Amino acid sequence: MTVHHHPPDELLAAFAAGTLDLGQHIAVATHLVGCASCRAAVRAMEHVGGAVLAALPPAAMSDGSFEALERRLNESRETSVAARRRGQAFHDVPGLPGFLDSYPDSSWRWIAPKVHLRPIRLPEPSETRVFLLRSSPGTRMIEHTHTGFEMTCVLSGSFVHAGGRFGPGDFDFGDGAVDHDIRIDSTDDCICLVAMQGDLKLNGVIGRLLQPLIRM
């Protein structure tokens, strides 16, 4: 797999620092599954952060800190065991991070002609919605922008827009400053993981007519 499009450096740095919300974390982690260069960049950032932390003077822990940590570890173990009992979710979708196996599975639902959506239900509150998007070959999305942002990681198939061609492993970032005019150019379905805040804003007369019908 040759990856041509990557998350911006500030997004990788936020991932390494652990400051992304869960939805954004999943989008970047999905890209890292197939991108060795970004995995190496994140490791380097983590090493730098560890060195900075090691250089700081020691600080006393507050009362009850150890007990609180122990409780969280026990809760994590219980959650992990329960997840394994549920079996693997999204097993039919290649290229996803392994930790998504423990998430509740879901079904594809129609959102537009030749386009289906499959939600990923997060186990904790997040301002970012995460879902899989499957589009048939030749599908052309209505030109749109965003009221927030959209992170897209291609799992299979490919699409093109003004920013280039995006295939498996590629990462696309869009916000209110970007107009997306997307066409699926692969011979098979294009499946992407999408993390989004805000809503799509469809352009043009037809877009405005269809806007009330599109919910992602």
Which domains are assigned to the chain? 1-216 (2.60.120.10)
The answer, yes or no, to whether residue 210 has pLDDT greater than 50, is no
- DSSP-derived letter for residue 89 is S
Q: Distance between CA atoms of 181 and 18, rounded to whole angstroms?
A: 32
Q: Distance between CA atoms of 96 and 103, rounded to whole angstroms?
A: 12
Mean pLDDT of 79-98: 66
The answer, yes or no, to whether residue 160 has pLDDT greater than 60, is yes
- What pLDDT is stored for residue 75 in this prediction? 54
Type of residue found at 181: D
Phi-psi region of 212 (alpha: psi -120 to 50; beta: other; left: phi over 0): alpha
Residue of 144, 187, 137, 186 lying closest to 162 (CA atoms): 144
Helix, strand, coil shares of the chain, percent, nearest 5, are 35, 25, 40
Mean pLDDT of 31-51: 88
Q: At 64, list the tokens.
A: 């009850």
Tell whether the torsion through CA atoms of 36, 37, 40 and 41 is positive or negative: negative
* pTM for the predicted model, two decimal places: 0.77
Q: Which residue would you say has higher pLDDT here, 215 or 9?
A: 9
Q: If residue 115 lies in a helix (H) or strand (E), which one and from where to where?
A: strand 115-119
Mean pLDDT of 138-166: 86
